[in-house]
Amino acid sequence: MEKLVIEGGKPLSGTIRIQGAKNAALPILAASVLTGGSVTVENVPDLLDIRVMLDILTALGSKTELSGHQVRLDMSGLNSSHIPEELMKQMRSSIFLMGPLLARFGSVTVYQPGGCAIGERKINLHLTGLEALGARIEEKGSTIVCRADKLVGTDIVLDFPSVGATENIMMAAAAAEGRTTIHNAAREPEIQDLQHFLNAMGARIYGAGTNTITVDGVREFHPCRYRIIPDRIAAGTVIVAAAATRGNVTLENVNPQHLTSLVHVLRRAGVQIVSSGDIMNVQCHSRPKRVERIVTSPYPSFPTDMQSLLMVFLSLTDGLSIIKETVFEGRFKHVEELSRMGADIRVDLNAALIKGVPRLYGATVEATDLRAGAALVIAGLAAHGTTVVEQIHHIDRGYERIEEMLAKLGAKIVRKASGGGSI
Ligand code: UD1
């Protein structure tokens, strides 16, 4: 068990390179089981979740090698489509293997990924999507067995534009017979990245980034080399940290188009943000203004993954702001922790009413999930005094050594063993 100890109150300043996107890398690594050959994926962040995905692929018989930010996979020895239960429970994203393993082996055994700190996170849309392609699904307790003699393309209408369900259906449909059309598909940039990767392996998919995706099934997938897009949520985390500490930070390896909704909100609050190519500069020199109302919803609207981070920023503005969370029902666990640091936030069903305070104060707080943990780190950077963030394994799932990244920007932050000395 480790913790982060932060001496707050110092504006962040300097230049930082943003990691590759976790949420693009995970489905892309899963999709590579469609080929019997080798795949090289670049710009892969070295994170706990990525390592769990590689452990699963190894357990299924493939050869995996992570070196720096490059992953090399040799899928020729892949011989099982039964995901070990203990690995499945470690990471919800293992569900991404369902579609491609079903397509390659004609059957797949997975386990319910279970609940999660941010809400119920059902998989019904994944299952009904695969059923529509011809899969038969048997659920016994937490075991789910999915079989299909062949997958056949069809029209699928999603009740909700689920990111994971869209991706799972795309991967299975890529190898199905005929055409699949996914209506009300999620439009996140990570879905476009998956389309580009699958097409680099020989798939024929069009429309990712819009709400209608067309997949013409193919029989064979070939080896390829692919580079993952920059992580928009990691970039957003640095942008909000720069703004909340009234700093001046330049980000490299970002796609500003993927950050439009966040940039729009921060500019309304008075933060100066300038982009050029894959570089962005963020500056905030005075107390930001409140932003009346923000509603999280699927891309291109304001991302639920940025909600807790933005809340820290808003808690330091000059008035009352409201955030309405519409994607996950249980995503306000960080409010209690932020309140212990002096934030004035009231939760009313799925809305948080945030009354800006002049400053936050250091405290010992607990990360309850990945983005909530990152939000507490930002709160610690902006606060007066010392903040200790515990349960940081949640943060390590999505950020590559967050303390090293922030220390490069002048933050006073160290990782310590929960008992004592630095690591
Ligand atoms: C992905 C992201 C996560 C992000 C989320 C929403 C990855 C690895 N994770 O998660 O960081 O917060 O998108 O942008 O890419 N739902 C159902 N039935 C389903 C599937 C989803 O009811 O079968 C519901 C969920 O409970 C949730 C909502 O749909 O309320 C959004 O979920 P979804 O878009 O599927 O998110 P994930 O793919 O799990």
Model pLDDT for residues 77-94, shown as the tens digit of each residue:
999 999 999 998 888 899
* pLDDT at 118 exceeding the cut of 70: no
Ligand 1 centroid to residue 8 C-alpha, Å: 33
381: left (phi over 0), alpha (psi -120 to 50) or beta: alpha
The confidence score (pLDDT) of residue 344 equals: 98
- φ, ψ of residue 234 to 5 degrees: the values are -65, -40
> Which regions of the chain carry the CATH code 3.65.10.10?
2-19+230-417, 22-227
Closest residue by Cα to residue 359 from 376, 380, 377, 333: 380
Is residue 159 in contact with ligand 1, taking CB distance under 6 Å?
Answer: no
Contact 291, 311 (CB under 8 A): no
Q: How far apart are alpha carbons 243 and 250 in whole angstroms? A: 12
Catalytic residue chosen out of the listed positions 116, 146, 224, 284: 116
Closest residue by Cα to residue 336 from 296, 368, 289: 368
Instruction: Look at 13-22, 110-119, 169-178 and tell me which has the smallest mean pLDDT.
Output: 110-119
* pLDDT at 166 exceeding the cut of 70: yes
Is residue 124 in contact with ligand 1, taking CB distance under 6 Å?
Answer: yes
Residue 60 burial class via C-beta count within 10 angstroms: exposed 0-12, middle 13-18, buried 19 and up: buried
Closest residue by Cα to residue 65 from 91, 86, 89, 44: 44
The hierarchical CATH code for the domain 2-19+230-417 is 3.65.10.10
Atom of ligand 1 nearest to the CA of 305: 12
**Cβ neighbours of residue 138 closer than 8 Å, sequence gap 6 or more:** 144, 145, 146, 147
116 as an active site residue: the answer is: yes
The confidence score (pLDDT) of residue 423 equals: 60
Angle between helices 22-31 and 163-173 (to 10 degrees): 30
Is residue 187 in contact with ligand 1, taking CB distance under 6 Å?
Answer: no
Across all residues in the chain, what is the average pLDDT? 95
Q: Residue 224 CB: number of other CB atoms within 10 A?
A: 18
Alpha helices per DSSP H over 181-325:
189-200, 232-244, 260-268, 307-314
* pLDDT at 329 exceeding the cut of 90: no
3-state secondary structure of 252: strand
* pLDDT at 120 exceeding the cut of 70: no
Atom of ligand 1 nearest to the CA of 93: 8
CA dihedral over 362, 367, 368, 374, signed as positive or negative:
positive
Angle between helices 232-244 and 260-268 (to 10 degrees): 10
Higher pLDDT, 399 or 420: 399
Name the token pair of 203: 């798939």
Contact 265, 288 (CB under 8 A): no
Contact 148, 217 (CB under 8 A): no
Residue to probe by mutation, ligand 1, list 23, 121, 307, most atoms within 8 Å of CB: 121
* pLDDT at 13 exceeding the cut of 60: yes
- For ligand 1, atom 36: residue with the closest CA: 163
Residue to probe by mutation, ligand 1, list 125, 130, 160, 295, most atoms within 8 Å of CB: 160
Question: Average of pLDDT values for 4-13?
Answer: 98
pLDDT-derived band at 359 (thresholds 50, 70, 90) equals very high
Is residue 45 in contact with ligand 1, taking CB distance under 6 Å?
Answer: no
Ligand 1 centroid to residue 304 C-alpha, Å: 10
* pLDDT at 141 exceeding the cut of 80: yes
- For ligand 1, atom 16: residue with the closest CA: 122
Is residue 119 in contact with ligand 1, taking CB distance under 6 Å?
Answer: yes
Q: For domain 22-227, give the fold.
A: UDP-n-acetylglucosamine1-carboxyvinyl-transferase; Chain (3.65.10)
Is residue 23 in contact with ligand 1, taking CB distance under 6 Å?
Answer: yes
Sheet with 344-348, edge to edge strand ranges: 293-296, 320-325, 351-355, 344-348
